[in-house]
Amino acid sequence: MAERILVVDDEEDVRNIVARALKGKGYHVKGISLACDALEEIKDRYELAIVDIKLPDASGLELLAQIRRISPLTEVIIITGYATLESAITAIERGAFAYIRKPLQLGELYQTAKSAIEKQKLTAENQRLVAELRKINRRLENLNRTLEKRVEKRTGELRRSQEETEKKARQLAIINEITSAITSSLDLNEILSVVTEETKKIIRFDRASISLTDGSRMINKVYFLEPAGKKEPEEGLTYPLEGTGIEWVIKNRKPLIREDFDGGGEFVEDEYILTTEVKSGMVVPLIYRGEVIGTFNLGSKEKKAYREEHYQILKQIAGEIAIALENAELYRKLKTYSDKLEEKVAERTEALRSNIRELKEAQERLIQSEKLAATSKLIAGVAHEIKNPLNSMSFATANIEKMLNSGFDMRKTQDFCRESLSILRSDIGRLKEMVDRFMVFTRPDRIELEDADINDIIRQVVKGVEGELRQKGITIVEKYAKRIPVLKLEKAAFHRCILNLLLNSRDALERSGRIEIRSGLADNLVTVEVKDNGYGIPPEIRDKIFDIFFTTKAEGAGLGLSQVYRTVESHRGSITFQSEPGKGTTFIITLPTT
Ligand SMILES: Nc1ncnc2c1ncn2[C@@H]1O[C@H](COP(=O)(O)OP(=O)(O)OP(=O)(O)O)[C@@H](O)[C@H]1O
Ligand SMILES: [Mg+2]
């Protein structure tokens, strides 16, 4: 856009010349002859005013001053026909850009106008920048103020939250302290003393106590925590719950804050509290597993010492106290129970001891009577066994006596004596054999062990009986295991064992019966098996065959198997049998090799 120049001169020629010259240079030029019109026109609309120093209605210098005032961004060039130094100085002082003399040199005019406009532009730009800077500055200042305010606010908030956090941490530390006291000790007094000390760190109080109720209409235990020295539970301190603040708390499961006890009694204990110096108080429920088991009570000598926020802390402490109390109660119950149990165990042990004593005595009595029975059975057996040979022996001796007393016939007497002697010898033999058989039962401890080959013993026994067996038409089959180790045995007794088994088989067989005897070795055990195909053992006597004197035979003594049993047992072996009536029987002796 073209710059605008206002030419103020009363001479029309001058106005025209100047206008023409500057228009030619691309400026927008307007001419005015009066100062008052010029002031109307100029207002911030022209970059430059070219003013004649002498105007009909005012001096050009005056106009200059006014233009500078109302349109400070417009540069002014003063032109004059009669120049004085004074007026030039005044013009410059009043802010004119230049001072040009008439007659006007158009080249000079143009140059000066150009410079003035450049200056004006710079000034305008400068001002704009300054204005902008100011604006920016203002904005920055505003921003700064806002920021400062925000920082201040945040700092305040942070400080508060830090204080809050520190407070919480302190409370937490205290609750931790209480919790660890509860988990590390079972001594209620010790725990309550920790609770009192720790609670003191966060809440002021002059009196503290715990009231417990067991669900009845009574407060039946009170622990005084503060003043110190009253820590022991007051035994037997029981009073009615009704009408107390504690009852209110238990019922409502809420804390009770008493701001001022002077304000008039609400609960029955107030009268008592007024006799102490306590002015305000707080009662907090002790809740364990959802049940109110009592209250935690604090009192202060100051009025209004407690507020809702104290409850928030006390609530947690109360929770811990409830746990401690329940633990202590459980421990007490457990202790009583275990004491009782111990007593019972001791009682029972004593009873058992005396039972065992009685049992032993009874056992001894039983053994004694068993022994007596066995002995009398043995004596009866022995008497029965020796009765026949003794009868026959006394018959033989009576005959000899009779013969000696009658008339003496040598030949007859000799024959008779020989016959009687042979009877006597055979009876004596029978008695001797019987005594031998009984020896097994009478000398159990005197076993004399020798190295023995069990196969040899079997062979000898078979040799002794095979003639008789053959005569009866019985076949005997022998089977011997190889490499049977040498055993430590009482040979004679074992000889008799095998003989007894073979004779029992013989007795169970008819003509053309069969006996098989075999030795064996397996798993460090030696076995001797005697098998027959005789009439077998009926089930009803299976339990009795090893009993002494048990026999089913007319001529039997019932000593055979009991002797076998006794001998095998004294060699740490065992004897078993299988039998099927009508099919046969097998006896198996098992002996250890070591
Ligand atoms: N191999 C067998 N077959 C059938 N019954 C048997 C056999 N061995 C034993 N018994 C039964 O067991 C009973 C007891 O046997 P044990 O050898 O102790 O006495 P006993 O043979 O009767 O008389 P003792 O052996 O004193 O001469 C026998 O009377 C018989 O009834
Ligand atoms: Mg027998």
Question: Looking at residue 237, what is its pLDDT?
Answer: 64
Distance CA 107, CA 179 (A): 103
Cα angle at 172 between 171 and 177, to 5 degrees?
100
Q: Whose CA is nearest to atom 9 of ligand 1?
A: 504
Domain termination site, one of 81, 115, 137 = 137
| Same domain membership, residue 566 and residue 504 | yes
Mutate to test the pocket of ligand 1, among 532, 545, 589 (most ligand atoms within 8 A of CB): 545
CA of 392 to the centre of ligand 2 (A): 23
244 lines ligand 1 (CB under 6 A): no
Mutate to test the pocket of ligand 1, among 500, 504, 543, 559 (most ligand atoms within 8 A of CB): 504
Q: Whose CA is nearest to atom 31 of ligand 1?
A: 552
533 lines ligand 1 (CB under 6 A): no
Model confidence at 231, pLDDT cuts 50, 70, 90, reads very low
CA of 585 to the centre of ligand 1 (A): 11
CA of 431 to the centre of ligand 2 (A): 17
Q: Whose CA is nearest to atom 29 of ligand 1?
A: 551
Residue 372 pLDDT more than 80? no
How many distinct structural domains can be found in the chain? Answer: 3
For residues 214 and 445, the model is more confident at: 214
Q: Angle, to 10 degrees, between the axis of helix 188-202 and the axis of helix 308-405?
A: 170
Which residue, among 390, 383, 401, has the nearest Cα to 424 in the 3D structure?
Answer: 390
Which residue, among 537, 450, 525, has the nearest Cα to 495 in the 3D structure?
Answer: 450
385 lines ligand 1 (CB under 6 A): no
| Same domain membership, residue 125 and residue 201 | no
Ligand nearest to the Cα of 546, by number: 1
Domain termination site, one of 311, 327, 343 = 327
Question: Looking at residue 444, what is its pLDDT?
Answer: 54
CA of 556 to the centre of ligand 2 (A): 7
The per-residue pLDDT for range 556-573, each reduced to its tens digit, is: 888 899 889 988 988 989
Residue 362 pLDDT more than 80? yes
CATH number at residue 237: 3.30.450.40
| Same domain membership, residue 190 and residue 92 | no
| Same domain membership, residue 190 and residue 117 | no
The per-residue pLDDT for range 572-587, each reduced to its tens digit, is: 899 999 999 999 999 9
What mean pLDDT comes out for the span 4-27?
92
CA of 339 to the centre of ligand 1 (A): 63
533, 584 contact by CB (below 8 A): yes
Asked, for residue 384, whether it belongs to a domain, the answer is: no
State the number of CA atoms in the 13 A half-sphere of 71 facing the CB: 21
CA of 469 to the centre of ligand 1 (A): 17
| Same domain membership, residue 574 and residue 451 | yes
Angstrom distances, CA of residue 348 to CA of 335, 344, 354, 454, 528: 19, 6, 10, 55, 51
Which residue, among 32, 84, 83, 82, has the nearest Cα to 58 in the 3D structure?
Answer: 32
Mutate to test the pocket of ligand 1, among 548, 553, 579, 580 (most ligand atoms within 8 A of CB): 553
Model confidence at 236, pLDDT cuts 50, 70, 90, reads low
CA of 391 to the centre of ligand 2 (A): 24
Beta-carbon neighbours within 5 Å of ion ligand 2: 504, 560
The residues with which 59 forms a beta bridge, in sequence order, are 54
What contacts 24+ positions apart, CB below 8 Å, involve 535-543?
535/508, 535/581, 535/582, 536/508, 536/579, 536/580, 536/581, 536/582, 536/583, 536/584, 536/585, 537/577, 537/579, 537/581, 537/585, 538/581, 539/581, 542/579
The per-residue pLDDT for range 94-151, each reduced to its tens digit, is: 889 988 888 888 888 899 999 999 999 998 899 899 999 999 999 999 999 999 999 9
Domain extent for 311 = 182-327
What mean pLDDT comes out for the span 290-308?
89
CA of 335 to the centre of ligand 2 (A): 69
The number of the ligand 1 atom at minimal distance from the alpha carbon of 559 is 26
Question: Looking at residue 149, what is its pLDDT?
Answer: 94
545 lines ligand 1 (CB under 6 A): yes
CATH number at residue 14: 3.40.50.2300
CA of 453 to the centre of ligand 1 (A): 26
CATH number at residue 558: 3.30.565.10
563 lines ligand 1 (CB under 6 A): no
Asked, for residue 235, whether it belongs to a domain, the answer is: yes
Question: Looking at residue 228, what is its pLDDT?
Answer: 61
Asked, for residue 99, whether it belongs to a domain, the answer is: yes
| Same domain membership, residue 222 and residue 105 | no
What mean pLDDT comes out for the span 238-265?
85
What mean pLDDT comes out for the span 453-476?
94
Asked, for residue 214, whether it belongs to a domain, the answer is: yes
Distance CA 470, CA 114 (A): 172
Residue with tokens 């005056």: 62
Asked, for residue 350, whether it belongs to a domain, the answer is: no
Residue 220 pLDDT more than 80? no
| Same domain membership, residue 128 and residue 266 | no
Asked, for residue 14, whether it belongs to a domain, the answer is: yes
47 lines ligand 1 (CB under 6 A): no
Domain termination site, one of 106, 137, 168 = 137
Q: Which of the residue ranges 171-180, 336-345, 399-408, 435-444 has the most confident prediction, judged by mean pLDDT?
A: 336-345
Residues 6+ apart with CB under 8 A from 260: 279, 280, 303, 304
